Amino acid sequence: MENNSDNSGRPTPDSARSALDAVAASQARAATRISAPWWYHLGLGATLALVFLAMSLRVASWAGAVLVVVVLGLGYAVRRATGVSYERYTSTPGAIKVYGGYILALVLLAAAGMYLEWGAGVHWAIAVAGGVIGVLTVAVGYRVDAVARRDIQAGR
């Protein structure tokens, strides 16, 4: 029996174009919604700065727990606010590069502050390093959002 139908189980050019257009529209919608609100980045930066200040004051026994609670709470809140859940700092190739540079800077700043304060006796060095890390955290957060948005729009 011969089948004269055009529908042989394969997509037609029109249905394929429609599916690709739907994917592009979905990427565009996701890219517009992934940016975290201002309070997310500011909350992370302020929390890290306060943890380093607590280390400088030598009252950091509670700081680790506070850091974990704030990071988890902010993560939950940003998912609720944006409606998007994804690994913000490692979701795209561009975000990974920015975040890798941030981690390197964070480790170097923390190590320098700890050495200066605990090794060389420079008071408040850890607190100053923490302030710089806090500002860097906010700036990098906005940069990661922009890079991830660009990468997602480009389909990466």
Q: Give me the count of residues in the chain.
A: 156
| Residue with token string 């990468």 | 151
Q: Which two tokens stand for residue 109?
A: 């700043």
CA atoms within 13 A on the CB side of 32: 5
Q: Is the pTM of this model over 0.85?
A: no
Cβ neighbours of residue 53 closer than 8 Å, sequence gap 6 or more: 126, 127, 130, 131
DSSP letter, residue 37: P
Name, in order, each residue with C-beta under 8 angstroms of 20's C-beta and a sequence gap of 6 or more.
Answer: none
pLDDT tens, the chain, 156 aa long:
455 555 567 778 877 777 776 676 666 666 666 788 999 999 999 999 999 999 999 888 888 899 999 999 999 999 898 887 778 888 889 999 999 999 999 999 999 999 999 999 999 999 999 999 999 999 999 999 999 888 887 777
